[in-house]
Structures are given as structure tokens and as C-alpha cells.
Amino acid sequence: MEGMLYKWTNYISGWQPRWFVLDGGTLSYYDSQEDAWKGCKGSIKISVCEIQVHSSDSTRVDLTIPGEQYFYLRAINAAERQKWLVALGTAKACLTDNRTKREKELQENTEALKTKMSELRLYCDLLLQQVNKIKENDELGDTVETGIDTGNMVKSTCTTFLKTLEECMQIANRTFSTDMATQSPPGSPPVAAIKPQKVCYKFLDSCYAIVPVLDKLGSTVFAPVKMDFVGNIKKINQKLMSDPDNFPTLQSIVLHEIHTDVAQVRNSATEALLWLRRGLKFLKEFLSEVNAGNQDIQGALNNAYGKTLRQYHGWVVRGVFALALRAAPSYQSFSAALVSTEGEEKKSGFTSGMHRDLGVYLPAMERQLGILDVLYEEYNLESDEVV
């Protein structure tokens, strides 16, 4: 189902018309029907949200994931709200029924797998006994007929063992391929080279942690990077929160958007991650310059900017960065910003300690960026567009 609903935005803008689409258990919204091609502005997973009707407003329906997400919506009239309530309720019921069915199938398949594993252990023990019997017969010099009989028994046991093993594999495929299919949409590009890890939250938290550091190092000089950082992190986080169970990694978000043909749409999470990655590379190059002994902070920033962001910026943005870089601190001020207690930067062990920490941080940062580089290169997601 799709149509126009009013969404509560804030106390300044109030209720604003938005185009909503209910599809595949997810309610997504767009600025308008005409702008749907630009990508959704937000979404909520119906299976995990609470659907509430307003006690006094016959046109209002609230969708909430307590403590996480809130959609306050209004239809144009009570009849239209009723249509949406039926559609939302039906979607939620179907998803719940499907989940219950999957849980039952998983339990049954797990029990069947345990039974087959017990059979395998039995046949394995029997096979070992028969092999040992052949060895004993060989040592005792038994007749050829005895050896043939024992060999036939081993052959029969091996056949049964392999058949049971095949049945185990069939049960396992039935069980776990269904479970893994929920992690990325059918038809998604292969991710054999990507080891799935639930690191999405940790990565975004790490990126958020950089923001106050940038403020401390120089709120003016890092202002353009900071604004870009925060905006892109929010876009990725919004996508993550729309379906956290199915987006355990940044890769899963990107692959989902590739499958749904929105990866290269403006304001997509894939585009946001592209620019966040570029911003992180700028920071890495700058810190690498410092770690290499460059005490000219403005020069180090200029070098880092030239190697990373400059090629993607038009003359206006380049001018903004040029002005910001003029506010670069001296090396002494930069060093002072790194310590928690005034004067520590003047102590003898400060420089060696800074290089030691950067020696740990920079390689780790490079590894994470390398993973994203491979992903974007593999699916041709790089963009030469200048902003």
C-alpha cells in the first residue's frame, strides 16, 4: 500500500505531508511521490513496532519502537486511517506468523540434525571396529573368505555413513540457508570475500568518538570535515535503525541498497558511507604526516587534503577548506590539545607516547578503510562527482 500521510516533524514545522510506501514489512517515507526515486527519508520495521491509535484524534496513528523510533502520522480522514490500519495490521500479522513458522521449522530441523549426528557417531564407531577387525585378521593370517566378508561389512557401513552424512547436510542447508537469507535480500551480490561480523554499531560509535577530538584539535579548521562526518554518520545510522536485525554490517547495508537500486541515489546510506570513508582517509593522511615527523600542521593538513578530498571538491568547497586551513594551530597548540593535563606535552615521554599510540591507531584505521575500499571497488560504487 502507498499514499500520502502527514508526519509530525518538529515543533517548528509541525505536520508535513509525506509519501509513504508499505512494502515487504517495512514502512518507508519520501518527501513526495515525485521524489521517491531519490531514496527514502526514513523507514520503520513493522514486525517490531507498536501500532497505536490516538484516543481523541480519529485520523492519527502512532508507530513506535520504544526508546528507538517514533512515527507520529495523520491520514486525511478517518476512513483513510482505517485503510492504513488494516494494511499495517495485516503486514504485522503475516510477519509474525512467518516468524513463528520459521522458529518451528528451525526447532524441528535442529532436533532432526541432532538425531542424524548421533547416527553418524554410531556408524563411525562401528567403522573403527571393523577396520580394527581387518587388522587383526591380517595379523592372524585368516582366510581370503574371511577378509572378503569383513570388507563387505566395511563397504556397507561406509555406504550408510555417507548416506547419513548427506542427510545431515540437507538438513543443515535447509535450516541455515533460510536463516542466512534473512540477512540480505534474495539476489544480492555475493559476499564470499566478506566475513560477517556485527560491527556496524561499533564502527559508527568509533566515528562519533572522533567528533569531539576534532573540536579539541581545532573547531574552525576541522569544521567542514566535522559537519560532513556528523551528517553522513546520521544517514548511515538511520538506515541501520530501519532494520537493525538485517543490517549487522556496513556491507549488508550497501549490498541491500545495490539490490534495491538505490546505492547511487543521492542521500543513500551507500553515498553517505562513501563520503564518511573519504573523510576518514583525510584524517588518516593528516595523522600519518604528524606521525612521520611533520610539525607544520597547516602543511600536513594541506598535504592530506590534496591526497584525499580535494579531487572531489569544486572551487567553492575548496575555497571553504582553504579558509579553514588558515586557522590551523601551531604544533605546540596541537600537542597541547592532545593531553588531558596541562603541561604534559612538554614532558620527555610525550612525543614517543604519541608515536606509539599512532602506530597502533593508524594501521587499525587503514585495515578498516581497506575493507571498504575492496567493497566499493568490487561493485563499482566509486563516484567522480564533484561537489
Q: How is the chain split into domains, by residue range?
A: 2-76, 98-181, 200-378
pLDDT value at residue 315: 80
For residue 80, CA distances in Å to 16, 32, 58, 59, 263 come to: 17, 18, 10, 8, 33
Cα-Cα-Cα-Cα torsion 353, 356, 362, 367, nearest 10 degrees, comes to: -150
The full length of the chain comes to 387
Cβ atoms within 10 Å, residue 360: 9
- Judged by DSSP in three states, 165 sits in helix
**Neighbour-count burial of 55, counting CB atoms closer than 10 A to its CB (0-12 exposed, 13-18 middle, 19+ buried):** exposed
pLDDT value at residue 24: 76
pLDDT value at residue 306: 92
pLDDT value at residue 173: 62
pLDDT value at residue 96: 56
**Domain 2-76 of CATH type 2.30.29.30:** yes
Record the cell numbers describing residue 227, joined without a space.
Answer: 559537519
- Give the C-alpha separation, 211 to 132, whole Å: 68
pLDDT value at residue 36: 77
CB 246 within 8 A of CB 183: yes
pLDDT value at residue 188: 36
Residue 314: phi, psi to the nearest 5?
-80, 180
For residue 76, CA distances in Å to 26, 82, 180 come to: 21, 11, 40
pLDDT value at residue 77: 92
Record the cell numbers describing residue 144, joined without a space.
Answer: 581370503
Q: State the fold for domain 200-378.
A: Glycolipid transfer protein, GLTP (1.10.3520)
Amino acid, single-letter form, for residue 5: L
Handedness of CA 238, 241, 245, 248 (dihedral sign): positive
Put the strands of the sheet holding 26-30 in their side by side order. 42-45, 26-30, 14-23, 2-10, 69-74, 60-65, 50-53
- Give the C-alpha separation, 341 to 190, whole Å: 50
Grid cell 520495521 is found at: 45
Rg (CA), the chain: 30
Q: Residue-wise pLDDT tens for the chain (387 aa)?
A: 889 999 998 888 889 999 999 887 889 898 888 877 777 788 888 887 888 888 888 899 999 887 778 899 999 998 899 888 888 888 777 765 555 556 666 667 777 777 777 777 777 777 777 777 777 776 666 555 666 666 777 777 777 766 776 776 666 666 554 444 334 333 334 433 333 344 577 788 888 888 777 776 676 667 777 888 888 888 898 888 888 778 888 888 999 999 888 888 888 999 999 999 999 999 999 999 999 999 999 899 999 999 999 999 888 778 778 877 878 888 888 888 887 778 888 888 888 888 998 999 899 899 989 999 999 998 899 888 888
